[in-house]
Structures are given as structure tokens and as C-alpha cells.
């Protein structure tokens, strides 16, 4: 949820107020780091990408005109920093913790039996492994859509591509991820009504 003082901090930071910019960093640092972790999956790379994103934000804030929200803008910077870092370094990527709160599972853990919790943990691991197998362009849109709940138009603004490209990448990424999970024997297709509801969400 956005802080009502965000607009004030942005305006002040654009004039060079470092304290105001620190407030913006504090407001978004967890979300930005969660995003870079999902793309990089190596904690050190994720932290470096997040730092680069905020540095780019500080340098580019004078040119921020508000055509998109600040959150969309900072997500774009974080996505670009993550992708650039991976391509520049060609680094091997280790998996991040699977116990964070960014995976959007509908059933609270407290309501699950030990067996159900173990099954959900296994599913998390398989989802993470499947994401790792996806091409970077598919992984990025799925992370933004499924784990950060951005709309199609927000993802398009973030990645500077058109909405049709976003939808195509999401569909292809989901198919590849679904195939991976089926291969692992850990996937149950959603009901038609659930799939229709998901497909119509924008």
C-alpha cells in the first residue's frame, strides 16, 4: 500500500532532498528486493541489482514526469538492473529461500496439516525450479504478474513493451511452467472457471 506522503517525498527528492529519497527507498526497498530476488535468484546479485535500481532512480528522478506511477517506474529500473546484471556477468544463479511471503498461495499455512504443508513446500520448490528453467523474458513477466500482481498494462510500462507482447510472454511462460510441473508429477490443472477468471484478469 502506498504511503500518502509519497508524492511529497517524490517532489522533495526531485529537488535534491536526500532525506526524502531515503524515505522512498525505505518505502520500496522490500518490494524491489523481492522482485530482484525472483529474477536473479542469487541473494548477492539481487542486492546488487536493487542497489543499482535505486541509484538509477536517484540519478533519473529529475526527469521523472509521473506518466506512470513511481512504483511502476522503480519496478522497471529494478527489472532492467536485474536483466542487465545477469546478461553482463553471465552468472550462475542459486535458488533463494522458498519460505518468503511473496509466493501467492491461497491457503494460509496455519490451516494446513503437516502433510499438506509438506506438499505445498514441495510445490514451491518445483515452481522455483520451473522458473529457473524459463527464458529470462518469460520469467520476468511471470514474476511481475503472479508474484507482484501487476496488471498487464503496468508490466508493459515496466518493461517498455506493448501489452500484446506481455500477454504472449505470460501465456508462453505459463505453458512452459505447467509442462515442467506436469513432468515432475506435481501439477493439477485448474478448473475451467478458475482458468477463465485468471485469463480475464487485467
pLDDT in tens, 122-138: 666 777 777 777 888 88
Confidence (pLDDT) at 149: 73
* Residue 57: per-residue pLDDT: 94
pLDDT at 89: 63
Are 117 and 109 in contact by the 8 Å Cβ rule? The answer is yes
**Model confidence, pTM:** 0.59
Q: What is the pLDDT of residue 23?
A: 94
Q: What is the pLDDT of residue 26?
A: 94
Cα dihedral: 165, 171, 177, 178 (round 10): -170
Which residues of the chain carry a pLDDT beneath 50? 1, 91-110, 190-198
Amino acid at each position: 500500500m502506498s504511503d500518502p506522503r509519497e508524492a511529497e517525498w517524490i517532489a522533495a527528492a526531485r529537488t535534491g532532498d536526500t532525506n526524502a529519497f531515503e524515505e522512498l527507498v525505505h518505502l520500496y526497498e522490500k518490494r524491489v528486493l523481492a522482485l530482484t530476488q525472483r529474477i536473479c535468484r542469487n541473494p548477492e546479485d539481487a542486492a546488487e541489482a536493487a542497489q543499482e535500481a535505486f541509484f538509477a532512480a536517484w540519478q533519473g528522478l529529475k526527469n521523472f514526469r509521473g506518466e506512470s506511477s513511481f512504483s511502476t517506474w522503480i519496478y522497471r529500473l529494478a527489472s532492467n538492473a536485474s536483466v542487465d546484471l545477469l546478461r553482463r556477468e553471465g552468472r550462475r544463479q542459486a535458488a533463494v529461500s522458498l519460505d518468503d511471503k511473496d509466493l501467492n498461495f491461497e491457503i494460509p499455512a496455519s490451516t494446513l496439516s503437516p502433510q499438506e504443508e509438506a506438499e505445498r513446500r514441495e510445490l514451491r520448490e518445483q515452481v522455483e525450479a520451473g522458473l529457473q528453467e524459463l527464458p529470462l523474458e518469460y520469467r520476468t513477466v511471470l514474476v511481475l504478474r503472479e508474484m507482484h500482481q501487476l496488471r498487464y498494462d503496468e508490466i508493459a510500462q515496466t518493461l517498455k513493451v506493448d501489452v500484446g507482447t506481455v500477454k504472449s510472454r505470460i501465456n508462453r511462460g505459463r505453458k512452459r511452467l505447467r509442462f515442467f510441473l506436469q513432468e515432475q508429477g506435481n501439477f493439477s490443472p485448474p478448473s475451467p472457471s478458475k482458468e477463465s477468471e485468471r485469463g480475464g484478469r487485467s
